[in-house]
Amino acid sequence: MNPAEHVPVIPSGYAPPAELFERGRALAQQTPPSAHADHPVVADDRPGVVDFVEETHADRLPELLPLRMERMAQTPYSFFRGAAGMQAADLVGSPSSGLSAQLCGDAHAANFGLYGTSDGDVVMDINDFDETVPGPWEWDLKRLATSLVLAGRVGGVSEKKSQNAAQDAVKAYRRTVRRLAGAPHLRTWTALADESTLGEHQVEHLSEHLSTAVDKARRNTSDRVVSKAVQHIDDHETGIRRQQFVEEPPVLWHLPDDHEQAVMAGVQDYVSTLRESRARLLERYAMVDAAFRVVGTGSVGMRSYVVLLDGNADENLVLHVKQAGPSSLAPYLPDLPEAAHQGQRIVQGARLVQVSTDILLGWTTIDGRPYIVRQFRNRKGSLDPTDMPGKALDDYGRLCGGLLARAHCRSLRPRLLEGYLDDDSELDNAICAYAVKYADQTEADHETLVKAIASGRLPKR
C-alpha cells in the first residue's frame, strides 16, 4: 500500500477536507446564500391559524387546552413558540443548500438553555428536541433569527437592535462553522459550551444574566424539588412513613391507582433503553410515587408525569416522563422515514446533537403512547430573551448562533458547510430580512389566534 494513500476507517464516511469544501462551494453556486432574502415567507397553501392550532390539539388532554391557548395568546413570541409546524409549512420550497443536519426542529431562542452534565458541571446548549428530525439546516437558523426579532419586539428593544441580534446570530453561526471546520474532529465533537468557553462569542453584556442563570441552575436539582413538592405521610396501620408529591392544581395532581401503576410499569420498561451501567444505577432506587405535571408552552395538553424515586439514606431522584408526539416538521419533509417510536426519535436526536446528554435519558411506552424519560430539573436553567436590553439580546443572539452551529456540525460535516458559506456575509443580511418579514407574519397570526379565542372558536379559561 502506498504510505501516502488515505485509508478511511469507515469507507463510506470519508472524504478529503479540500474535496468537501469544494463540494460546498459548488452548492453555493446553485443556491447562493443571498437567495434567502427574496423568497416569499408564507406558502400559498399554508394552513389557516385556527385550523393549524386545532390540528395540534389532536391527542392532547381537552381539559388542558384552555391553558395552552392562554399561554400561546400572551404575546406573538408565545404564539411562535407553539407554532413550529406552521413555520415548517411556510418553509417548504424555500431556498436550500441541499445539505441536511439533525435539526432541533424548534430552535427558537428560549430553547437554548442550561443543564447539568454527569460530573456536575453546568453547560449551555439546545435543550428541547420534541421536534428533532433530519432536515435543511437553514430551517433551524431561520427559526432562531425570527425568534430574536420577536423577543426584542416583545421586550421593548428597538427594531434596529432586534434585527442586529438576528443578524449577529447568523454571523456567529458562520464564524463557528469556519472555526470548527479547521479544528481537530475529536475536539469539535467533545467540546462543551461551559462558562470557560463562552468568551469566544463576545457575550460581555450578557455575563450578568448568564451568571444569575447558572447560579440558579446549580440549585435546580431533585433535592430542591423534593424539599418543595414532596411531603411525608405516616401510615398508622403499617407504621411506615412514605413520601408523596404535594398536589398543586392546575399544575400537579395525583393519579388513579391503575394509572399510576401504568406509569411506573413504563418507567421499569424504559430502563432497558439505557446503557447497561446506567441501568445498573437505577436498580438501586425504588419508585414511591407518581403524579401528573403540566410543563412548557408547546407541550401543554400532552401527558406528562413526575416519578419520585427513593435512593440512599435521604436521597431522592425525580424522573420526568413526557409524552412524545410526532415531529410537527415531519409532514413537510416528504423523504423522511417514519419514526418507529417517537420517544426513541427524540432521544437519538438529542444524543446526536448535544455534546453531553442526560445520562438517564431514554424512552418507553405507556398505554400505547410513546414517551421520553429524563431527569427532572437536572440543574436546568434558562435565560428569557424577552427580558433583555438590546446589547444583551445581541450577545445572546451570537451565543445561540454559535451553539446552533456546534449542534449542526455534529451531523453535518463542518468543512462541507464552510464551503457553502465561504465566509459570505450575504447570508447574514438575507436571513435577517427573512426574520423581519416572518416576525411581521407571526404578529398577524397571533392577532388571529387572540380573536379566535375571544370569539369562542378556540377554547379559553
Q: What is the mean pLDDT of residues 135-147?
A: 98
Estimate to the nearest angstrom the gap between the alpha carbon of 350 and the chain centroid.
9
Helices (H), 106-206: 137-154, 159-181, 185-190
Buried b (16+ CB within 10 A) or exposed e, 417-432: bbbbbeeeeebbebbb
Please tell me the chain's helix, strand, coil percentages from 3-state DSSP, rounded to the nearest 5.
Answer: 50, 15, 35
181 pLDDT higher than 90: yes
| Helix axes 390-408 and 137-154, enclosed angle (nearest 10) | 160
pLDDT per position as a tens digit, 241-258 = 688 999 988 889 999 999
| Residue 11: its H or E element | none
- Strand-pair category, 369-375 with 362-366: antiparallel
| Predicted pLDDT at 10 | 61
Q: What is the mean pLDDT of residues 325-344?
A: 94
The CA distance from 155 to 390, in Å, is 9
| Predicted pLDDT at 334 | 87
* More confident call, 205 vs 94: 94
Q: CB neighbours (10 Å) of residue 191?
A: 13
Q: How many percent of the chain have pLDDT more than 70?
A: 93
The CA distance from 63 to 339, in Å, is 28
At residue 7 the predicted structure's pLDDT band, cuts being 50, 70 and 90, is low
Q: What is the mean pLDDT of residues 82-94?
A: 95
User: Chain-wide mean pLDDT for the chain?
Assistant: 90
**In Å, how far are 78, 263, 265 from 60, measured between CA atoms?**
19, 17, 22
Hey, is 183 helix, strand or coil? Answer: coil
At residue 83 the predicted structure's pLDDT band, cuts being 50, 70 and 90, is very high
3 pLDDT higher than 60: no
Estimate to the nearest angstrom the gap between the alpha carbon of 109 and the chain centroid.
9
Phi, psi of 158 (to 5 degrees): -60, 155
288 pLDDT higher than 50: yes
At residue 261 the predicted structure's pLDDT band, cuts being 50, 70 and 90, is very high
Q: What is the mean pLDDT of residues 415-441?
A: 94
Closest-CA residue to 305 (of 218, 222, 245)? 245
Buried b (16+ CB within 10 A) or exposed e, 222-241: beebbeebbeeeeeeeeeee
| Predicted pLDDT at 214 | 82
Lowest mean pLDDT among 27-31, 43-47, 179-183, 416-420: 43-47
* More confident call, 193 vs 394: 394
Closest-CA residue to 81 (of 111, 52, 51, 59)? 111
Note whether 312 and 284 are within 8 A (CB). Answer: yes
Domain ranges, ordered by start, for the chain: 12-211+384-455, 222-375
| Predicted pLDDT at 196 | 47
Lowest mean pLDDT among 184-198, 355-369, 421-435: 184-198
At residue 156 the predicted structure's pLDDT band, cuts being 50, 70 and 90, is very high
Lowest mean pLDDT among 117-126, 175-184, 269-278, 300-309: 117-126
At residue 38 the predicted structure's pLDDT band, cuts being 50, 70 and 90, is confident
Lowest mean pLDDT among 236-250, 350-364, 382-396, 427-441: 236-250
Highest mean pLDDT among 117-126, 311-320, 429-438: 429-438
